Amino acid sequence: MENIKKAAMLLKQDEIVAMPTETVYGLAASILSKVAVEKIFKAKGRPQDNPLIVHISSVDELSKYAKDINPLAFVLYKAFKGMPLSIVLNKNDIIPDVVSAGLKTVAIRIPNNDIAIALIKELGAPIAAPSANLSGLPSPTTAEEVFDDLNGKIPAILDGGKCAVGVESTVLSLVSDTPVLLRPGFVTFEMLKEYLPNIKMSESIFKTLKKDEVVSCPGMKYKHYAPKTKLCMLSGDMAKIEQYLAENVTDDKGVICFEETKVKAKNKFIYGKMSDANSCNHLVYSVLREIDEYNLNLVYVVSGGNDKEFLAIYNRLIKACSHNEIKF
Ligand code: TXA
Ligand code: MG
């Protein structure tokens, strides 16, 4: 509690601090401090046209920060209470342009993490927070990973241990007649479709957009989630993937795979169970960071496909692989 008070004090003094959320660590600023929000972009090296997610402590606050709210937003925040869902809505004037990167909309979510909620309450204002990594690197899911990226650039990190979910929130736009899934996450397309039968997926989920392309989710056009090591995704028939690995893996290469994957490799990194996509979400970013310590020439990434719960992780991994993929 003492640390949360100190962190809130820093935020009130136009500073930024890293905080845990249930998804990944965030780099927090008060939405009311333009100076602090600008510090976020500087510390991360984040492109100016990429808007920040606003974190509130309760759905009761929503109408202070968004206007012309699609009533379905209330239904969804209730239905997915405690789950990581950011909804893009029309913003109120109180949200500064620097937070929304000049857009008329704002993505809002309610984090399910006691430290994040306590910090918002202690500050008395919503928190704007992107993931607390250097722009382009995998998101941090431990305080140590935040330290590795931002040591010397920020005054404090609140340590909440390993993040429960491990990949960033689902981002859903409700600003036009057709709801659009902008970024897949723990709350899946299928879960949302039960409430939004006409929901569409943004094409940015599957392809990398050009730098100057105008898009509904600006963050999706930048290189993301990528370690320094060259990656190649292997997807499709598992028996064929295992055969390919047996024929191609040498000591200078690595394999990121499932517990279930049958492969002999000197550099093998397990990111979860193929039978449980959420176990992979939990570990994937730490594994992507870890492989850079081995100076490998190439790392194969065994994919679990892009269906249902695996879409979120596929979306991160295919970008980490720069769309370098062999299909079997
Ligand atoms: O789980 C999360 O969402 C984490 C934690 C810290 O809350 N935050 C996070 O923020 O992942 P960031 O900045 O790394 O990713 C936010 C994504 C970006 O792709 C951004 O373009 C998109 O959300 N976004 C934010 N505001 C938007 C808006 N008004 N319209 C469309 N996309 C928006
Ligand atoms: Mg990010």
* Each residue's pLDDT tens digit, 4-62: 999 999 999 999 999 999 999 999 999 999 999 999 999 999 999 999 999 999 999 99
Residue 213's pLDDT is 60
Say if residue 167's pLDDT is above 70.
Answer: yes
**pLDDT (average), residues 98-103:** 97
Say if residue 128's pLDDT is above 60.
Answer: yes
Instruction: Give, using CA atoms, the residue closest to atom 29 of ligand 1.
Output: 106
- Lowest-confidence range among 25-29, 38-42, 222-226, 291-295? 222-226
Would you say 302 and 241 are in contact if contact means Cβ atoms under 8 Å apart?
yes
Say if residue 63's pLDDT is above 60.
Answer: yes
Residue 217's pLDDT is 60
**pLDDT (average), residues 107-130:** 98
Say if residue 212's pLDDT is above 80.
Answer: no
Confidence class for position 243, pLDDT limits 50, 70, 90: very high
- Please identify every residue whose CB atom is under 5 Å from ligand 2, which is an ion: 131
**pLDDT (average), residues 167-172:** 98
**pLDDT (average), residues 90-116:** 97
Confidence class for position 206, pLDDT limits 50, 70, 90: confident
Percentage of the residues of the chain whose pLDDT score is greater than 90:
92
Confidence class for position 207, pLDDT limits 50, 70, 90: confident
Residue 219's pLDDT is 61
The reply to whether ligand 1 has any atom less than 6 angstroms from the CB of 33 is no
**pLDDT (average), residues 157-171:** 98
Mutate to test the pocket of ligand 1, among 171, 209, 224 (most ligand atoms within 8 A of CB): 171
Confidence class for position 151, pLDDT limits 50, 70, 90: very high
The reply to whether ligand 1 has any atom less than 6 angstroms from the CB of 202 is no
Say if residue 289's pLDDT is above 70.
Answer: yes
Q: Please tell me the distance from the alpha carbon of residue 4 to that of residue 309, in angstroms, as a whole number.
A: 34
Instruction: Give, using CA atoms, the residue closest to atom 21 of ligand 1.
Output: 219
Mean pLDDT of the chain: 95
**100 CA closest ligand 1 atom index:** 29
**pLDDT (average), residues 292-316:** 96
The reply to whether ligand 1 has any atom less than 6 angstroms from the CB of 182 is yes
Q: Which ligand is nearest to the CA of 167?
A: 1
Q: Please tell me the distance from the alpha carbon of residue 301 to that of residue 318, in angstroms, as a whole number.
A: 9
Confidence class for position 204, pLDDT limits 50, 70, 90: confident
Model pTM score? 0.95
* Tens of pLDDT, residues 296-305: 999 999 999 9
Residue 225's pLDDT is 80
Residue 208's pLDDT is 61
Percentage of the residues of the chain whose pLDDT score is greater than 70:
95
Instruction: Give, using CA atoms, the residue closest to atom 17 of ligand 1.
Output: 219
**171 CA closest ligand 1 atom index:** 23
Residue 210's pLDDT is 55
